[in-house]
Amino acid sequence: MMAKKFFLIILSVGIILFFLPTKIKLTVSRYPILILMFPVNYLNNFISKIRVKTQELEKLSRLATEFMLENVRLKEELINLKQESIISTTQNLVWAKVIGRDQETFVRYLVINKGSAHKIKKDLPVITPYGLVGKVLDCNPLNAIVETALSPQLRISALNLRSNVVGVIEYDQNQLLRFKYSFAESDVLPGDTIITSGLGGIFPRGLKIGVVTKVTPDRTRFFQHVEVLPVNNFNTIEYVLVLLEEFASQKINVPQEKAKKIQEIQIEIPTQPRIR
Q: Give the CATH number, domain containing residue 100.
A: 2.40.10.340
pLDDT at 194 (0 to 100): 95
Amino acid 83: pLDDT: 47
Indicate if 36 and 130 belong to the same structural domain. Answer: no
Number of domains in the chain: 2
Asked whether residue 255 is domain-assigned, the answer is no
**Could you say which of 41, 56, 84 is where a domain stops?**
84
In a domain, 196, yes or no: yes
Residue 266: inside a domain: no
Same domain, 156 and 218: yes
Same domain, 59 and 120: no
Q: What is the mean pLDDT of each run of 10 residues along the chain (276 residues)?
A: 62 60 61 63 76 82 76 64 48 87 92 93 93 95 95 94 93 92 90 91 91 89 92 93 67 44 39 46
Give the whole-angstrom CA distance, residue 256 versus residue 30: 111
Q: Strands, E, within the chain: which ranges?
A: 93-101, 109-112, 125-128, 131-139, 144-148, 156-160, 166-171, 177-180, 193-196, 208-217, 224-230, 239-243, 251-258, 261-268
Are 48 and 133 found together in one domain?
no
267 inside domain: no
50 within some domain: yes
Burial 50-82 (b: 16+ CB within 10 A, else e): eeeeeeeeeeeeeeeeeeeeeeeeeeebbeebe
pLDDT digits (tens, 9 = 90+) for 105-134: 999 999 999 999 999 999 999 999 899 999
2 assigned to some structural domain: no
CA R_g for the chain: 37
Q: What is the pLDDT of residue 183?
A: 87
Same domain, 134 and 191: yes
48-98 pLDDT, tens digit per residue, is 888 888 888 888 878 877 777 777 666 666 656 554 544 444 458 899 999
Q: Same domain, yes or no, for 225 and 100? A: yes
Of 48, 66, 84, the last residue of a domain is 84
| 258 falls within a domain | no
Same structural domain, 58 and 109? no
Same domain, residue pair 122 and 199: yes
Q: What is the pLDDT of residue 258?
A: 43
Q: Are residues 57 and 114 in the same domain?
A: no
Provide the domain limits for residue 146.
Answer: 93-243
Q: Are residues 106 and 165 in the same domain?
A: yes
> Looking at the structure, do residues 206 and 148 belong to the same domain, yes or no?
yes
| 131 lies in some domain | yes
Q: Are residues 143 and 66 in the same domain?
A: no
Last residue of a domain, one of 84, 108, 123: 84
Q: What is the pLDDT of residue 146?
A: 96
